[in-house]
């Protein structure tokens, strides 16, 4: 049994009034996974992208340059492009945010992915939040019916599974 089990796993998704998608995954842990500092915030981001690569066995991997990153399929197609990490520390809350700038899976630039840790009472909540993202594969007027199915049955559960792996890796790394 894991020394630091993930508790209170939740995943949710909704369409905002703007038409953008909001997706959120969270767990609760007893010990902080990172310290409240810029370094701690950066570690959230680094661990997230490692989770993506690990979950897909390297098929999907982030590649970073000055100015941002690209989530690549087999080192080629740009699935999503991101701005540089924006780290923030406010008391016990620490976060690392990446602006979505485009890519094959984004209908238009906009939205963000935020990895965060915040104190909740004597415990800590770890979250992955995607906000105002407009997926290319989402069902929409005029689009083929199967694009919505690809998002609902493919991309959305894939994202939730990556988040789960991210939480595990984050907590496992802390326990090491």
Partner 1 sequence: MRATVFGATGVIGQALLPLLADENEVVAVSRGARAAEDGIRWVEADVAAGEGVAAALEGADVAYYLVHSLGARDFERQDRDAARSVSREASRAGVEQIVYLGGLGGDDPDASAHLRSRRETGEHLASDGVPVTTLRAAMVVGRGSAAFETILGLVKRLPVMITPSWVSTPTQPIALDDVARYLAGVAGNAAAIGEAFDAGGPEVMTYRQMIERIAVLLGKRPRIIEVPVLTPALSALWLELVTPVNASVARPLVEGLRNPTIAREERLRQLLPFELTPFDAAARQALEA
Binding span for partner 1 by CB under 8 A among 90-98, 137-145, 152-160, 167-175: 167-175
Report the residue number, 41 or 105, with the smaller CB distance to partner 1. Answer: 41
Q: Establish if 173 lies at the interface with partner 1 (CB under 8 A).
A: yes
How far is Cα 110 from Cα 45, in angstroms, rounded to an integer?
19
- Quick count: other Cβ atoms within 10 Å of Cβ 3? 9
Decide: helix, strand or coil at residue 133.
Answer: strand
Q: Establish if 157 lies at the interface with partner 1 (CB under 8 A).
A: no
Ramachandran bin of 157, using left for φ above 0, alpha for ψ from -120 to 50, beta for the remaining angles:
alpha
Decide: helix, strand or coil at residue 114.
Answer: strand
Residue keyed to tokens 């995607």: 130
Report the residue number, 89 or 107, with the smaller CB distance to partner 1. Answer: 89
To partner 1, the closest distance from the beta carbon of 62 in angstroms equals 7
φ and ψ of 34, to 5 deg:
-140, 160
Q: Which of positions 33-52 make contact with partner 1 (CB under 8 A)?
A: 34-35, 37-40, 42-43, 46, 50
Report the residue number, 103 or 173, with the smaller CB distance to partner 1. Answer: 173
Please report, as ranges, the residues that interact with partner 1 according to CB under 8 A.
34-35, 37-40, 42-43, 46, 50, 58, 61-66, 74-75, 169, 172-173, 176
């Amino acid at each position: 049994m894991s020394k630091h089990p993930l508790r209170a796993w939740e995943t949710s998704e909704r369409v905002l009034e703007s038409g953008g998608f909001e997706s959120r995954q969270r767990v609760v842990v007893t010990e902080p996974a990172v310290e409240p500092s810029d370094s701690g915030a950066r570690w959230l981001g680094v661990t997230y992208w490692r989770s993506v690569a690990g979950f897909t066995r390297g098929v999907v991997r982030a590649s970073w340059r000055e100015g941002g990153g690209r989530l690549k399929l087999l080192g080629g197609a740009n699935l999503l492009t991101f701005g540089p990490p924006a780290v923030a520390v406010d008391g016990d809350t620490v976060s690392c945010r990446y602006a979505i700038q485009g890519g094959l899976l984004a209908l238009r630039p906009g939205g963000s992915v935020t990895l965060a840790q915040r104190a909740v009472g004597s415990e800590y909540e770890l979250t992955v939040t995607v906000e105002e993202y407009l997926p290319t594969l989402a069902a929409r007027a005029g689009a083929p019916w199967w694009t919505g199915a690809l998002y609902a049955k493919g991309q959305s559960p894939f994202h939730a599974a990556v988040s789960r792996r991210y939480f595990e890796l984050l907590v496992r790394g802390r326990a090491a």
